[in-house]
Structure 1
Amino acid sequence: MFQVRTPFNHRSFDALNATGVDLDVVSPTPFAPPLGPYSDYRHVPKTEQWGSYRVHYPRYLYMLPKKYFYHVSGNSAQKRVTSYVERTFETPHDVVQTCGFYLDGYASLEYCRKRDIPLVALSHAGDLKNFDRFNERVQSQIRETIDYCSAVLTVSDELADVARRFAPASKVTTLPIGEDPEKYPTDRREAIRRELGIAPETKLLLFVGRFEEEKGVRELVAALEALDRDDVAIAAVGHGGALRWWFLDQLGELSHPSHAYWELDPIAVRRLHVAADLLVLPSHFEARPTVIYEAMAAKTPVLASDVGGIPEMIVDGETGVLTPASDADQLREALEYLLDDTERLRTMGAAGHQRLLDQEWTWTHHAQRLSEIHREVIHE
């Protein structure tokens, strides 16, 4: 049972499925309101074929405001997931894997308890990092889920330290995600740049992420506004965020050529990674962002904030450069420093690519390790 509304979850399941594991995939989805920004949920199908496995989207009640009623959403998700799985799948499951403790982990809890099935949850930060922001009932539900879990997985060592606030150290394991370098046509870099209309002397800066405060888009705009050079172009790829229209408006006012893309196809995103001279990620907080693995696979160096699990990924000065979060001046200075040395950018990009391989930060290795963990908890 999995939540597949984000790309890294989908890729994780694809990789797991490629190991020969049979998957029943369940992605709890809110009932759609008739109007407003969440009304598009009405277009989510009841089921959907993803490669060789099918995804099921049972509906549950999502109550607003979240601050006061998130626990009601959790209870609804648990009730509906339990009944849906019981009537839909005949074969008993050996293990349940969820993407996070809340909502998905808690939604699976009753089903696991009734059948004594081990539960493994992989957190990407949200539920653990935001724990203190939740109301007491949600906090209790998260603790209840973690207590039942046979294994608590996190994507970074920094997040694993947070998880140990809630679970015994013996339960907690860092399981990095990653990227597969063979999907990135690095041998076609110059041809791709020509296709995109990028001149050889132009330095292409790439931002990929949600257009929101926490991703550092305000600092990015301020740094770009102060960047006094005529050899820079910007490509920004977004997939959500409250500052979408503000960010696009600000990019349009820059003297540098800029292109913004919305919910771009993964193949197109990979081409932009290959074409870019530098990935810029000035986030305020992160776990281990997928976009950095993607840049490493594309041999593109990274300029990012020194937060969360990012220092575990980037070797400062060797595979990229780290700067303080929320500091537009230092971000601009780092940009100037890096853009003045094209050869240094290439060397850093190659070093980052090699680090990805050396650390085995690939989806194949991720799936192999995840399968090992599943076998361990099944046979406990």
Structure 2
Amino acid sequence: MVDEQVSETDSQTETDGDPTYRVLGCAAEHPNHVFQVRTPFNHRSFDALNATGVELDVVSPTPFAPPIGPYSDYRHVPKTEQWGSYRVHYPRFLYMLPKKYFYHVSGNSAQKRVTSYVERTFETPHDVVQTCGLYLDGYASLTYCRKHDIPLVALSHSGDLKNFNRFNETVQQQIRETIKYSSAVLTVSNELAAVARRFAPASKVRTLPIGEDPEKYPTDRREAIRRELGVDPETKLLLFIGRFEKEKGVRELAAALEALDRDDVVIAAVGHGGALRWWFLNRLGELSHPSHAYWELDPIAVRRLHVAADLLVLPSHFEARPTVIYEAMAAKSPVLASNVGGIPEMIVDGETGVLTPPHDADQLRETLDYLLDDPDRLRRMGAAGHQRLLDKQWTWHHHAEQLTEIHREVMHD
């Protein structure tokens, strides 16, 4: 499938010779020193954008912290900090619970506080506002954009669009208001772009893939890394990375692994949140296969596991284009994943990986079994996936190049 995205010859303007312009980035879901592995793709997008030479200011609206309870750790989020190549600011807003009834109140608070914080902290106005979602990020930036007549570009990874019907009516109105103002609504997959067109004119909607940078993956050290991890040459390392929750298919994965009658398998599961954390850890502990669960790993450690793995397994119930598949492709690891969302846009079934139906533990076990019987095929699929990543230019550098083209276009409409 061809990405419905801006070509390199599109959006040429009189400013092409001068790449410098000023961007305000907004991402409520952004890593910080308290929540270090939260939505790393938002950080990587901004980091790549900053590397193009734009002048970038970033805000990450952060809830006021209650004194006690599960959300009290928010009090440790700093007011501002350097994150990668840019500085992030964390203006506080009121986040009201339960979300089902009061999410719109949270949105109104974020909008008010982001506007005032930006105007007193940065040189304003910016030339364009880039948000990492329609809600809260896009709506939080709306007053500032309107006040200064700034174009808004919103990148959706799926949550606000696919969960639209779960929001209360006021939040739905706020999302529609944000889409109406936005100059461009960007999605990470063609499948999600089709969803976006239910809410926005087709001319506003574009597919902007994210990606991964292969040079960060030490594929030439694969055997050495496996020795360091204690994985024997004949042992197959199965890797799962994601939230430990039902939507990621961890129940089906646990059932498939329990039924997998082999003695040449070891499992590594890397988690970073999810309501089924302890349930999944208990199930892994009961397996006959050796298994190890990692929690909130540093990205360097995650890349090493990708390089060492024989197969990435992702039995999700729904996805857009998961970052973890781009990572596997960069590491030359084949992928077994559900045939849902934007995943079929990434994986060529039978060539770079294998697609399997969601919610089907028996089929997942059967597919695992026959793939593990053919390690040569696994290596060929991993190499083909790596080449597909390169051929499609699914890298952060290319992501940022396309994003700057879109910015220049909307700034001169």
What range is the shorter-chain TM-score in? over 0.9
Equivalent position of 1:322 in the other structure: 355
Equivalent position of 1:368 in the other structure: 401
Equivalent position of 2:105 in the other structure: 72
Unpaired runs of 5+ residues, structure 2, are: 1-24, 32-38
Question: Is 1:28–2:61 an aligned residue pair?
Answer: yes
The answer to whether the 8 A contact 2:26-2:141 is kept is no
> Residues 117-155 of structure 1, C-alpha deviation per residue, up to 9 Å, x if partnerless?
000000000000000010000000000000000000000
Task: Give, in whole Å, the separation in 2 of the partners of 1:55 and 1:337.
Answer: 47
Which residue of the other structure, out of 194, 198, 217, is the alignment partner of 2:231?
198
Question: Is 1:168–2:201 an aligned residue pair?
Answer: yes
Task: Give, in whole Å, the separation in 1 of the partners of 2:70 and 2:345.
Answer: 36
Equivalent position of 1:289 in the other structure: 322
Q: Which amino acid aligns with 1:172?
A: V
> Residues 68-124 of structure 1, C-alpha deviation per residue, up to 9 Å, x if partnerless?
000000000001001100111124200000011000100000000000000000000
Q: Which amino acid aligns with 1:237?
A: V
Find the residue that maps to 2:135 and give its secondary structure.
coil
Task: Give, in whole Å, the separation in 1 of the partners of 2:189 and 2:156.
Answer: 9
Task: Give, in whole Å, the separation in 2 of the partners of 1:277 and 1:35.
Answer: 43
Question: Is 1:350–2:383 an aligned residue pair?
Answer: yes
Find the residue that maps to 1:333 and give its secondary structure.
helix
Task: Give, in whole Å, the separation in 2 of the partners of 1:352 and 1:34.
Answer: 48
Which residue of the other structure, out of 76, 81, 99, is the alignment partner of 1:43?
76
Task: Give, in whole Å, the separation in 1 of the partners of 2:334 and 2:68.
Answer: 43
Equivalent position of 1:271 in the other structure: 304
Find the residue that maps to 1:177 and give its secondary structure.
coil
Question: Is 1:137–2:161 an aligned residue pair?
Answer: no
Which residue of the other structure, out of 199, 206, 222, is the alignment partner of 1:189?
222
Task: Give, in whole Å, the separation in 2 of the partners of 1:101 and 1:227.
Answer: 42
4+ residue segments displaced more than 2 Å? none
TM-score (norm 2): 0.91
Equivalent position of 2:93 in the other structure: 60
Q: Which amino acid aligns with 2:134?
A: F
Superposed CA RMSD: 0.6
Aligned length in residues: 380
* Deviation at residue 37 of structure 1 after TM alignment: 1.6
Describe how 1:99-110 pairs up with structure 2 within 5 A.
99-110=132-143
Task: Give, in whole Å, the separation in 2 of the partners of 1:36 and 1:310.
Answer: 37
TM-score (norm 1): 0.99
Task: Give, in whole Å, the separation in 2 of the partners of 1:330 and 1:78.
Answer: 47
Equivalent position of 2:26 in the other structure: 2
Query: Mean Cα displacement is larger for which, 368-377 or 51-60?
Result: 51-60
Q: Which amino acid aligns with 1:322?
A: L
Equivalent position of 2:279 in the other structure: 246
Q: Which amino acid aligns with 2:26?
A: F
Find the residue that maps to 2:134 and give its secondary structure.
coil
Task: Give, in whole Å, the separation in 1 of the partners of 2:279 and 2:65.
Answer: 27
> Residues 152-172 of structure 1, C-alpha deviation per residue, up to 9 Å, x if partnerless?
000000000000001000000
Task: Give, in whole Å, the separation in 1 of the partners of 2:208 and 2:68.
Answer: 39
Find the residue that maps to 1:103 and give its secondary structure.
helix
Which residue of the other structure, out of 327, 330, 342, is the alignment partner of 1:309?
342
Equivalent position of 2:160 in the other structure: 127
> Residues 160-186 of structure 1, C-alpha deviation per residue, up to 9 Å, x if partnerless?
000000100000000000000000000
Task: Give, in whole Å, the separation in 2 of the partners of 1:330 and 1:43.
Answer: 45
Task: Give, in whole Å, the separation in 1 of the partners of 2:380 and 2:86.
Answer: 40
Q: Which amino acid aligns with 2:256?
A: A
Equivalent position of 2:293 in the other structure: 260
* Deviation at residue 51 of structure 1 after TM alignment: 3.0
Task: Give, in whole Å, the separation in 2 of the partners of 1:259 and 1:34.
Answer: 34
* Deviation at residue 52 of structure 1 after TM alignment: 3.2
* Deviation at residue 2 of structure 1 after TM alignment: 2.0
The answer to whether the 8 A contact 2:191-2:341 is kept is yes
Q: Percent identity?
A: 88
* Deviation at residue 38 of structure 1 after TM alignment: 1.2
Task: Give, in whole Å, the separation in 2 of the partners of 1:175 and 1:72.
Answer: 30
Query: Mean Cα displacement is larger for which, 183-192 or 29-38?
Result: 29-38
* Deviation at residue 33 of structure 1 after TM alignment: 1.4
Equivalent position of 1:335 in the other structure: 368
* Deviation at residue 10 of structure 1 after TM alignment: 0.5
Equivalent position of 1:94 in the other structure: 127
The answer to whether the 8 A contact 2:212-2:330 is kept is yes
Q: Which amino acid aligns with 2:103?
A: Y
Equivalent position of 1:116 in the other structure: 149
Unpaired runs of 5+ residues, structure 1, are: none
> Residues 262-296 of structure 1, C-alpha deviation per residue, up to 9 Å, x if partnerless?
00000000000000000000000000000000000
